[in-house]
Chains A and B, each alone.
Chain A
Amino acid sequence: MLSQSLRARLLMAPALLWLTAFMVVPCLLILALGFFRRGIYGGVDYTFTFENFRLLADPLYLGIFLHSARVAGTATLIAVVVGYAAAYAIAGAPRRWQGMLLFLAVLPFWSNYLIRTYAWIVLLNREGLITQGLRMLGYEGEPPSMLYTEGAVIVGLVYNYLPFVILACYAPLSRLNPELAEASRDLGAGAFTTFRRVVLPQTLAGVAAGAVFVFVLSIGNFITPALLGGGKFQMVGNLVYAQFLTANDWPFGAALSMVLIAIMMVLLMAQAWGTAKGMGERNG
């Protein structure tokens, strides 16, 4: 008879090997690739260099980073504020409706990302429905250009990630003991003070985790800027894409993607640290 622990290992082995072969090893490869030179005709010249990382600090790329961060940050902020409010409203709805409401809010997240983005092209393009609406209201002249703007990219990002934020905010809100808020009111706090001093602190960890993901997914995004930004507004994701498919500078593309991973790691660690610190304060 196999021992319990050996059997568990055997069950885990195939999946873990798969993840190692097709995720860990390729990612390590990218890590290594960032330290090589670009070949003369594309491809990789295997001589060690820091050049790719030096290039990251070039004003051109630094500018793109900052711009991406601003766009992603704006989208994250909007998504978190709207998402938290929506989750708060769902958590306050009658119990029997909550599941259905949340399901409705999350469902779009599980449909095709490309199509959800495309839907905004239909709405925002020069002959799209929003222009039509404006015309019907009596607007004359050249329709405003809405597609291929930074605003369009932000709307697209918010649209795509809002369901995720609602889900992330709902989880801690639904776990919250309603008697805590009642106790706060009973002790003399107003509705807003109760929210700020009792509800928000206890749900912030979930909100922060959601925000980190939205920010990282936005800054590394490629589809939304490509389709709604018209290629004009590059995010780090588009830059990586270009290094691999048009510029043919794989080592630099690898270094860029490392930056994405680094941003994600730093933010996740900051979030974990913040959560742990918050816990410590509560316990101590």
Chain B
Amino acid sequence: MVRLGRAALLLAVLGFLYVPIGVLVALSFNESGLATVWTGFSVRWYGALLANADILAAALNTLVVGLISTLVATVLGTALALGIEARARKGRAVEALIFAPMIIPDIVLAIALLSFFSILKVPMGLHTIILAHVVFNLAFVSAVVRARLKTFDWSVTEASGDLGADGFTTFRRVTLPLILPAVIAGALLAFTLSVDEFIIAFFTAGAGRSSTTLPMQIFAMIRFGVTPEINALAALVMAVSVTAVTLAQRLNRGVIAP
């Protein structure tokens, strides 16, 4: 009885979580493009995406922002994690500083950066989005790498030194290979966050359409209502996130769920 109740509850919760997404994906393959009638399976709306220059330009911008901010954040975040975990004493101020990007409401960071850039008269565009995305991306990467380092046996780095390796060789041949799954998993999550991030990008992109990212494009399209193109685009964007996150979880079990 209890077990049955538990299964029913889980099924209901998972249904609640997945049915809306499932409907969206299903509709993206509906030939008619309408939510009301199913006229057959088709990929024509995906084709329509490829013909839409605005969407392609936005996708390219998103890719640029995602890749560069992930790369920078992965290097900085990994170094940060190594630095923190190598210290015997943990600074409270440092902990707060790293925790903050994960809990500050997006809208606050967004307007803070907008004010910051406008007061300093920094021209805004893709580069300012990248600067902003590195802030939360590096916090996530360092959190993932630190979680790995918590179970890291530091005596292997001493063993490497004892056997004659210098600091750099030890990092290249022992430390890095051992934390690499976590580093890559952190990078994949950072990339997902960056690709999906809307509010901060929206505020730090500056005027003009040239720095529109995919979420900004989607937001603009949604305001016009439900269209089959959005369904197709949404399905594609979600497929990218799901793939990246699943890969991250497989590489480094425990990164998003135990």
Alpha-carbon separation in the docked complex, A213 to B222 (Å): 27
Question: Interface residues of B, CB < 8 Å — how many?
Answer: 79
Residue A9 lies at the interface, judged by CB distance under 8 Å to chain B: yes
Shortest distance between the CB of A118 and any CB in chain B (Å): 5
Contact yes or no, B198 A223, CB < 8 A:
yes
Known: A5-B87, A223-B198, A240-B107. A16 touches B97 (CB 8 A): yes
| A residues 88-112 touching B (CB-CB < 8 Å) | 89-90, 92-93, 98-99, 101-108, 110-112
Contact A12 B79 (CB under 8 A): yes
Q: A18-26, A49-57, A138-146: which one contacts chain B?
A: A18-26
B84 nearest in chain A by CB position: A12
Any B CB within 8 A of the CB of A64: no
Q: Which residues of A contact B113 (CB under 8 A)?
A: 22, 26
Whether A11 and B80, one on each chain, are in contact in the complex, defined by CB atoms closer than 8 angstroms, is yes
Query: Does A115 contact B24, Cβ atoms closer than 8 Å?
Result: yes
Instruction: Give the secondary structure class of A's interface.
Output: helix
Chain B residues 184-240 with CB under 8 Å of chain A are 189, 192, 195-196, 198-199, 203, 215, 218-219, 222, 225-226, 230-231, 234, 237-238
> Would you call A240 and B9 a contact (CB within 8 A)?
no
Q: Number of residues in A with C-beta < 8 Å to the partner?
A: 87
Give the chain A neighbours of B23 by CB distance below 8 A: 119, 122-123, 129
Q: Tell me the number of A-to-B contacts counted with CB atoms below 8 Å.
A: 244
Contacts of B198 in A (CB 8 A): 113-114, 223
Q: What are 16 of the A-B contact pairs (CB < 8 Å)?
A: A8-B83, A12-B83, A14-B80, A15-B77, A22-B134, A23-B112, A29-B119, A30-B108, A85-B9, A113-B196, A119-B234, A222-B106, A241-B107, A250-B111, A250-B115, A257-B107
B residues bordering A, Cβ < 8 Å?
6-7, 9-10, 13-14, 16-18, 20-21, 23-24, 27, 35-36, 76-77, 79-80, 82-84, 86-87, 94, 97-98, 100-101, 103-109, 111-116, 119, 131-132, 134-135, 138-139, 142, 167, 189, 192, 195-196, 198-199, 203, 215, 218-219, 222, 225-226, 230-231, 234, 237-238, 241-242, 245-246, 249, 253, 256-258
